[in-house]
Each structure stands twice: as C-alpha cells, then as structure tokens.
Structure 1
Amino acid sequence: MSATIGVHALVRRAHEERVLAILRECGTLSRAQIAARSGLSRTTLSEITGDLLGRGAIVKVTTDAHQRAGSGRPAELLALDPRSGQFLGVDLGHTRVRVVVTDAAHEIIASGVTRYSPRTSLAVRVRSGLALIDRMSREQGIGLSALQGVGVGVTGPYPAGSARADVSAAFRERFTAPVLVDNNTRFAALAEAGTTDARDVLYVRLADGIGGGLVVGGRLVAGAGGAAGEFGHVLAEPGGATCRCGKRGCLETVASVGPALAAAGVADLDELAGRCAEPGIAAAMERIGAAVGRVLAAAALILDPELIVIGGSLPPAAPAIVDRAAAVVAAGRIPAGHDVAGSGTRPRGPVVRAALLGDDDGARGAVAALYRQSPLLAGYGDSEGSGA
C-alpha cells in the first residue's frame, strides 16, 4: 500500500511541476489552455490547480471576458504568484542598453534605457547597464530581493570568449542570482517567436548592425559555430562597400541604420520617418528592401519557414522596406502548383511581417531565456553568435 501511495505522490508532483512549468513559460493562461498544453484531464487539472491555488503557488489574475465574442461564463486566468520571483533582462546593444524587470507572471514591472556612442567599449557598456539597473531601482521603487535570474544579451559575432566571460563575471559580482549571457539578437528572435504559434520562424534585425535568429521545429538554433542567423554578413551587393567583417557587399553595408540614412540623405531615423514618402528617399528604401528580400528569399527556399519577422529600429521608420522585402520573397517562391520532389504537394511561401515587439525585444528575450522550460530552448547550447 505504501508503495502505491508513493507512486501516486510522485505522479501528482510531476503534474504540479508540469503546470508550474507551463505557467512559467507562458505567463497567464486559462485552465483550458493549460489542459491543452499539459495533456491532463479536466478532473486532474482541476485538482492540481485547486491545490496550487490553496497553497498560494498560483493566483487568479483576471478573466478572458474582454476576449470573448459570445455568451458564456468567462474563464478564469491563472498565473504564478507574481511575488514569487523577479527576472532581469539586459540588452547591451551597439548604441544603448535596455533593461526590463519582470515578475513571475511575465508582467514587466520596470524598464529603462541608457544611450551611448557606438564606439563605447564593452566594459563601459556593462557599467552603463549596471548603473541603469541601480537608477531604475531607486526611481521606480523596484527592489530586486526576489531576483531569480539575470539574462544579458551582447552584440556579435564579437565579443566572444573571454570578453563574454567578463560580462558574466561583472553581473555575477553584482547579483547572487544565476547569470546567462548570450547573443542579443538571438534573444530578440526568441522573444518574437513567443508572439506566434508558428514553429519555424526566421528573424532578422535591421539596426545599427544586422543579425538574426532561427527557430526550427520549435527550437532556437545556434548552429555548429554559434552563427546561425548571421544574415548581416550574407552577400547582398557584389563588389559593394567594405564591411566591418572584412568582406565586401554584406547586407549590413546596405540595410543597417547607418547606410540606410546615408542612402536617404537624412540625419537620423526621425527624419527618415518624416520624409520616407519623398520620391528619392522612397526609391532608396525600395532598393534596401529588395536587398533584404533577396537574402531572405534564398534563406526561405533553404529553410522553408512558416514566418519571417523583420525587426530592429529601421523598419518602423521605413515600413516600405518590409513591404518590398515581402514582395521579393513572394516572387522567389516555387511557382504555385509545382509538384515539390514528386510529393504531390504545393509549396507554401512564408508569411513576412514586421516585428510586433519594440526596441526592448532583446531584453524581453533575455528574460524568456531565463524561464528555461521554453520548448524554444530545448537542447539549446551556449555557443556565441551574431548580434545587432
């Protein structure tokens, strides 16, 4: 009898951990949504959630009444107790550091940004990030006593090796919570993948640099050398400008912020946004969009993603870049009705859209990585990669 009771207790504990892991990964969900993800029966799930609610491990947040079109009783939405943990996400970009603090229910409870010169050293970027965290704590009243983890995104393919270790050491010296350091653009890809049900997602970030990330079969892919998604250094213009990587004509020499502003003849992204309808500037953005589209069209034929997301600071200022890139990708599809390898199926091209998240996507993705139960991170290693 005791053995039977012990097995039952182990099974129940496994069910509880599964429910907690789903809420940790997804944030706020209804019981029906939890059941769909966990595979538990309604009766078992009701028992598990009832016990967790009674112990205070999870809480009732709100209902889905605002989402319901018809009649019927609104479903309660459940989440981890927000007070049970805090997560800190940091994105040390080329020209600014972004920080977000979330609670265990995935709600952002504090955020901030500090800008610096693109020539700023990594050590100074780290100090700027730590100073920003201190200022946010003071000004926004956020005590980090419940901190469960720190995720820090860095640009790349450099820094790598000892430089990345230095970043980790600096944050470990300040915080007792575990620290995860990885590529900021892959973090952004992870955050954007979390906004969709698509399992195969290609993400490219057009910012001061260009990087990207790949989610294949629901997993964030690093690649053999950690450079999966390095779209910025794919050839876009043969014989073009010299890139910082040493090659010529890379996409980064065409479609990152600096070259785009130069092509438009404007001083900054605000001016670009205000004048993007002018014929000369519109034509320049069309050319940039076509270059982005050619790179993505080739990648789409090879990887066959469901969704291509174009993010970064450039697309909001010049939406025509995304539109033109989407048109080029569509034109590069295998013609409708063509039998792919004798399979009898017609190929479907990917949806191409602008990113849904803003400039804090890298910091949000760093937080998402800290939850670790995400299927996007299953089998994911610590390789270095690209960044923007």
Structure 2
Amino acid sequence: MPVIVGVHALVRRAHEERVLAILREHGTLSRAQIANRAGLSRTTLSEITGDLLGRGAIVVVTTDARHRAGSGRPAELLALDPRSGQFLGVDLGHTRVRVVVADAAHEIIASGLTPYPAKTSLPARIRAALALVDRLGREQGIGLTALQGVGVGVTGPYPAGTARGDVLAAFRERFAAPVLVDNNTRFAALAEAGTTDARDVLYVRLADGIGGGLVVGGRLVSGAGGVAGEFGHVRADPDGAACRCGKNGCLETVAAVGPALAAAGVRTLSELTARRDEPRVKAATDRIGSAVGRVMAAAALILDPELIVIGGPLVEAAPGIVGRAAEVIAAERMIGAGSGPAIRAARLGDDDGARGAIAAIFRQSPLLAGYETPQETST
C-alpha cells in the first residue's frame, strides 16, 4: 500500500508541475485549454487546478465572457499568481532600447523606450537600458523585488561574441536574477510565434538590418553557432551590392530600410508610405517582396513551416511586400506538397524583441517550483 500511495503522489505532483509549466509559458488559459495542452482529462485537470487554487499557486484572473460567441456560461481563466514574480525584457536595438516588465500572469505592467544615435557604443546602450529600467521603476512604482529573470536582445548575427558577454556581465552585476542574452530578432520571432497556435514558424524582420528566427516545435532554435535564422545574409542577388558581412547580394543589400528607400527614390519610411502607389515606389517594393519571397521559399522547402511571418518597419510602411512575397513562395512550392505555409505580416509592434526576451525567460524560469505542497503521511 505505501508504494502505491507513493506512486500516486508522484504522478499527481508531475501533473501539477505540468500545469504550472503550461501557465508559466502561455499565461492566462481556461481549464479546457490547459487540459488540451497537458493531455489530461477534464476530471483530473479539475482536481489538480482546484488544489493549486486552494494553495494559492494559481488564481482566477477573469473569464472569457468578452470573447465568447455563444450564450453558455463563461469559462474561468487561470494564471500563476501575478504577485509571485516579475520578468524583465530588454531589446538593445540599433537606434533605441526597449524595456518591458511583465508579471507572472504574462501581463505587461510597465514598458518604455529610450532613443539613441545609431553609432552609440555598446557600453552607452547598456547604460541607457539600465537608466530606463530605473526611470520606469520610479514613474510606475515598480521595485522589481520579485524579479525572476532578465532577457536581453542584442543586434548582430553573432550573439555569442564579445557583445553578448559584455551585456551578460553588465546585467548580472546589476540584477540578482538569471540573465539570458540572445539576438533580438530571434526573440521577436518567439514573441510572434506566441500570437498563434502554429508550432513551426519562420520569422524575418525588415529593418535597418535584416534578421530572423526559427521556432520549431514551439521552441526557439539558435543553431550550433548561434546564427540560425540569419535570412538577411542569404544571397538574394548574385550580382548585387557588397554586404557588410563580406559577401555580395545578400537579402540585406536589397530589403533593408536603407537600400529600399534608395531604390524607391524616397528619403523616409513616411514618404515611402505616402508614395507607395507611384510606379517607381511600387516597382521597388515589388522587387523587395520578390527577393524576400525567394529567400523564404528556399527556407520553407527545407524546413516546411506552418507559418511565415514578415515584419519590421519596412513592412509597416509598405504592406504590399508581404503579398508579393507570398506569391513568390506559393509559386516555388513543390507540386503535391499541400497548401504550404500560411504567410502574414507581423502582429506585434516595436516591442516584439523585448516581449520575446520575456517569453524566453518564461520557458526557463523555475517560478513556483517550490510552492507549498500538502504534507504526505508516512505509513
């Protein structure tokens, strides 16, 4: 009998840990959604959540009444106790730093931005980030006393280099919490994947530079050398211009903001938007969409994703780029290979990198691993 009781206790504990891990990763969910993700029956899930609610490990935060189409009883939405932890996401971009603070229920409780010149040194960018965290704390009354983790996104195709080490050291010195550093565009890919049920997602961001990310099986893939998803340095035009990586004709020489504005004959993204129906501008954005489509089509043939997301300020200024890319991807698809991936523009804004940094921390955090458990009687 004691052995059987012990096995049942271990199984129940495993179920509880699974439920907590799902809420930690996904935020607010209904019991039905948790049961589906955990592979548990509704009865078992109800017992597990009832016990966790009784011990204060999770809470009811709201219902799904606003989103229901029918007239049935609204379902309660559950989350980790928001007070049990805080998470800090930082995106050290080329021209600004973004900071986002979330609670354990995945609610954003503070966010802010500080711009700086493109040639700002890394130490100065780090100082700007830390100053922004301090300012948000003063203005919004957030002391980060329950900080569980810090995620920091950095620019560049080689996050494992000295920049990553310098950032890691600076944030570890400042905060008494685990620190994770990776490429900011890969973090953005993770954030975008979080807006969909798709498990396999390719993401490319068209900005001052071009980066991307791969989410496979719901997990961010960095690759052996930390450069997975660097679509900006895939050759799009063999006879194209020299790229900063040393090659010629990379996608970044065609579809980054600078080359795009030059090809369209405009000076700013706002001007590009205002004149996007003019023949020269439209021809330029069509060429960009075709180049992006060719690169993503090749990646799709290799990786077979469910979803391809194209984002960044260039896409916001010229949404037609996504449509043209989708046409090229569809044309390159293998005959008989099904409908192919869904293709859409990014849903999140400029804070996607900071949000993705938090999403990465949620997947690693041991939050509530030591929550109070019932005392087992010995026999």
| Partner residue in 1 for 2:93 | 93
| Partner residue in 1 for 2:340 | 349
TM-score (norm 2): 0.92
Shift in Å, 1:5: 3.3
Shift in Å, 1:357: 1.0
Aligned-residue Cα RMSD (Å) equals 1.6
What are the residue-to-residue correspondences of 1:165-244 with 2, within 5 Å? 165-244=165-244
Structure 1 gap ranges (5+): 339-345, 375-388
Q: Residue type of the partner of 2:288?
A: I
Secondary structure class of the residue paired with 2:315: helix
Shift in Å, 1:163: 2.6
| Partner residue in 2 for 1:363 | 354
User: Are the equivalent residues in 1 in contact too, given 2:159–2:226 (CA < 8 A)?
Assistant: no
Shift in Å, 1:215: 2.0
Secondary structure class of the residue paired with 1:372: helix
Whether 2:315 is the aligned partner of 1:324: answer: no
User: Are the equivalent residues in 2 in contact too, given 1:87–1:370 (CA < 8 A)?
Assistant: yes
User: Within 2, Cα distance between the matches of 1:239 and 1:112?
Assistant: 42
TM-score (norm 1): 0.90
| Partner residue in 1 for 2:374 | none
| Partner residue in 2 for 1:298 | 298
| Partner residue in 2 for 1:386 | none
| Partner residue in 2 for 1:263 | 263
User: Are the equivalent residues in 2 in contact too, given 1:89–1:151 (CA < 8 A)?
Assistant: yes
Shift in Å, 1:159: 5.0
| Partner residue in 2 for 1:71 | 71
Q: Residue type of the partner of 1:123?
A: P
Number of residue pairs matched by the alignment: 365
| Partner residue in 1 for 2:372 | none
- Percent sequence identity is 81
User: Are the equivalent residues in 2 in contact too, given 1:24–1:373 (CA < 8 A)?
Assistant: no
| Partner residue in 2 for 1:384 | none
| Partner residue in 2 for 1:275 | 275
User: Within 2, Cα distance between the matches of 1:265 and 1:140?
Assistant: 43
User: Are the equivalent residues in 1 in contact too, given 2:15–2:48 (CA < 8 A)?
Assistant: yes
User: Within 1, Cα distance between the matches of 2:266 and 2:158?
Assistant: 29
Give deviations 1:326-383, integer Å, cap 9, x for gaps. Answer: 1111111123xx4xxxxxxx43321111011111111111000001259xxxxxxxxx
User: Are the equivalent residues in 1 in contact too, given 2:158–2:226 (CA < 8 A)?
Assistant: no
Pick 1 or 2: higher relative contact order, CA cutoff 8 A, min separation 6: 1
Secondary structure class of the residue paired with 1:53: helix
User: Within 2, Cα distance between the matches of 1:360 and 1:230?
Assistant: 20
User: Within 2, Cα distance between the matches of 1:113 and 1:373?
Assistant: 26
Secondary structure class of the residue paired with 1:363: helix
Secondary structure class of the residue paired with 2:148: strand
Shift in Å, 1:165: 1.1
User: Within 2, Cα distance between the matches of 1:171 and 1:373?
Assistant: 17
| Partner residue in 2 for 1:82 | 82
User: Within 2, Cα distance between the matches of 1:323 and 1:148?
Assistant: 41
Shift in Å, 1:109: 0.6
| Partner residue in 2 for 1:18 | 18
User: Within 2, Cα distance between the matches of 1:274 and 1:136?
Assistant: 35
User: Within 2, Cα distance between the matches of 1:263 and 1:110?
Assistant: 39
Shift in Å, 1:246: 1.2
| Partner residue in 2 for 1:372 | 363
What are the residue-to-residue correspondences of 1:97-108 with 2, within 5 Å? 97-108=97-108
User: Within 2, Cα distance between the matches of 1:203 and 1:257?
Assistant: 17
Give deviations 1:40-91, integer Å, cap 9, x for gaps. Answer: 2222222221121122211111111122212211111111111110000001
User: Within 1, Cα distance between the matches of 2:148 and 2:364?
Assistant: 14
